[in-house]
Chains A and B, each alone.
Chain A
Amino acid sequence: MILKYLFAKNEAIPVGSAAIFFGFSAIVWFMIGTGLGSFNAAKLAFPDFVTGTEMFAFGHMRQVHVLAVIFGWISMAFAMAMMYITPILGNTRLWSEKLGLWNCMMWNICLLVGLSLMWMGVTSGREYSDFPWPLDLAVAAFISIPLAVNVWMTIIKRRTQGIYTTNWFFAASTFMLIIVFLVGNLPEYFHLTGLTEAYMTWWFAHNVLGLWITPVAAAIAYYVIPKVTGNPLYSHRIGHLHFWSIVVFYSTPAAHHLMSAPLPEWLKSFASVEGVLILVPAIAFVSNILLTMQGKWNMFVENLEVRFTVVGVLLAIPLNMQGGFQQTRSINWYIHGTGWMVAHAHLALLGFSTFLEAAAVYLGLQTLMKRKLYSLTLGNMHFWLLLIGFSIYWVSMTIAGLIQGAGKIYEVPYIDVVIAEHPYMIARWLGGTMVFSSTILWLYNMWMTAREGTPIPAGRMPHELAYER
Chain B
Amino acid sequence: MKFREYKVGSRMFGMAFGLSMTITLLFPSFDLAASVVSEVGLDKQLTSGWDSGWQLQDLFLDGLNKPLKVLVRKDPKTGEPMEPVYAYVYPAGTSLPNGVNHPRNLGLGVEELSVKQGRINEAKKESGAVFLIKKSDKLLDFEDKPLSYMVNATATKGWTPDEVLNQAVDSDILHAGAGKTMFVREGCWWCHTLLPEQTQDWQVFGAPPMLGDFNGESPTAFGSDRKGPDLLHVGSRNGSREWMMLHFFNPRLVQPHSIMPRFDYLWGEVDADGNKIDFDKWRSEYDKYREGKITTPPDVPMYAKDSEIRKLIDFIVNLK
Binding site for B on A (CB under 8 A): 43-45, 47-48, 51-54, 57-60, 62-63, 120-127, 132-133, 156-159, 161-163, 172, 176, 179, 183, 187-188, 191-199, 201, 203, 244, 247-248, 251-252, 254-255, 257-258, 260-264, 267, 270-271, 333, 336-338, 341-342, 404, 408-409, 411, 413-415, 418-419, 422, 425
Contact A411 B203 (CB under 8 A): yes
A247, B264: Cα distance in complex, Å: 49
Given A58-B261, A262-B208, A333-B197, the answer on whether A197 and B218 have CB atoms closer than 8 Å is yes
Who on chain A is nearest to B214 by CB? A194
Tell whether B224 is near chain A: CB-to-CB under 8 Å.
yes
Contact B54 A57 (CB under 8 A): no
A156, B81: Cα distance in complex, Å: 77
8 A Cβ contacts from B4-63 to A: 5-6, 12-13, 16-17, 19-21, 23-25, 27-29, 31-33, 35, 41, 45, 50-54, 59-61
- Give the residues in chain A near B24, CB-CB below 8 Å: 203, 251-252, 254-255, 267, 271
- State the Cβ distance, B81 to closest chain A Cβ, in Å: 37
Tell whether B210 is near chain A: CB-to-CB under 8 Å.
yes
- Give the residues in chain B near A59, CB-CB below 8 Å: 186-188, 190-191, 261
- State the Cβ distance, A62 to closest chain B Cβ, in Å: 5
A422, B19: Cα distance in complex, Å: 46
Given A57-B186, A59-B190, A193-B98, the answer on whether A124 and B105 have CB atoms closer than 8 Å is no
Interface of B is mostly: loop
Tell whether B216 is near chain A: CB-to-CB under 8 Å.
yes
Interface of A is mostly: helix
Partner of A262, one of B184, B187, B204, B209: B209
Q: Which of B23, B28, B41, B214 has the most CB of A within 10 A?
A: B28
- The interface stretch among B112-120, B136-144, B251-259 is B251-259
Given A264-B31, A341-B225, the answer on whether A197 and B259 have CB atoms closer than 8 Å is no
A57, B225: Cα distance in complex, Å: 17
Contact B13 A419 (CB under 8 A): no
- State the Cβ distance, B230 to closest chain A Cβ, in Å: 9
Who on chain B is nearest to A40 by CB? B190
Contact B228 A414 (CB under 8 A): yes
- Give the residues in chain A near B82, CB-CB below 8 Å: none
- Give the residues in chain A near B98, CB-CB below 8 Å: 191, 193
5 A-B contacts, Cβ less than 8 Å apart? A60-B187, A125-B53, A183-B21, A195-B215, A422-B259
Contact B3 A156 (CB under 8 A): yes
Who on chain B is nearest to A196 by CB? B32
Q: Which of A43, A124, A161, A337 has the most CB of B within 10 A?
A: A337
8 A Cβ contacts from B205-241 to A: 208-211, 213-229
Tell whether B288 is near chain A: CB-to-CB under 8 Å.
no
- Give the residues in chain A near B189, CB-CB below 8 Å: 125
Contact B184 A125 (CB under 8 A): yes
A408, B196: Cα distance in complex, Å: 11
Q: Count of A-B contacts with CB under 8 A? A: 223
Given A63-B190, A195-B220, A255-B24, the answer on whether A54 and B213 have CB atoms closer than 8 Å is no
Given A251-B17, A336-B197, A419-B257, the answer on whether A196 and B226 have CB atoms closer than 8 Å is no
- What sequence of 0s and 1s flags, for each residue 58-74 of chain B, a beta carbon within 8 Å of any chain A beta carbon? 01110000000000000
A58, B183: Cα distance in complex, Å: 13
A263, B201: Cα distance in complex, Å: 18
- State the Cβ distance, B259 to closest chain A Cβ, in Å: 4
Contact A52 B262 (CB under 8 A): yes
Binding site for A on B (CB under 8 A): 1, 3, 5-6, 12-13, 16-17, 19-21, 23-25, 27-29, 31-33, 35, 41, 45, 50-54, 59-61, 98, 105, 184-191, 193, 195-201, 203-204, 208-211, 213-229, 251-252, 255, 257-265, 279, 283
Who on chain A is nearest to B52 by CB? A125
Given A52-B262, A52-B265, the answer on whether A199 and B32 have CB atoms closer than 8 Å is yes
Contact B1 A408 (CB under 8 A): no
- Give the residues in chain B near A191, CB-CB below 8 Å: 50-51, 98, 218
Contact B3 A193 (CB under 8 A): no
- State the Cβ distance, B14 to closest chain A Cβ, in Å: 10
A145, B168: Cα distance in complex, Å: 54
- Give the residues in chain B near A132, CB-CB below 8 Å: 53-54
A269, B18: Cα distance in complex, Å: 20
Contact A337 B226 (CB under 8 A): yes
Contact B259 A261 (CB under 8 A): no
Contact A47 B259 (CB under 8 A): yes
Partner of A121, one of B185, B214, B223: B185
A125, B220: Cα distance in complex, Å: 8
- Give the residues in chain B near A263, CB-CB below 8 Å: 28, 32
- Give the residues in chain B near A425, CB-CB below 8 Å: 259
- Give the residues in chain B near A158, CB-CB below 8 Å: 1
A157, B229: Cα distance in complex, Å: 56
A248, B227: Cα distance in complex, Å: 34
- Give the residues in chain A near B54, CB-CB below 8 Å: 122-125, 132-133
Contact B193 A176 (CB under 8 A): no
Who on chain B is nearest to A51 by CB? B262
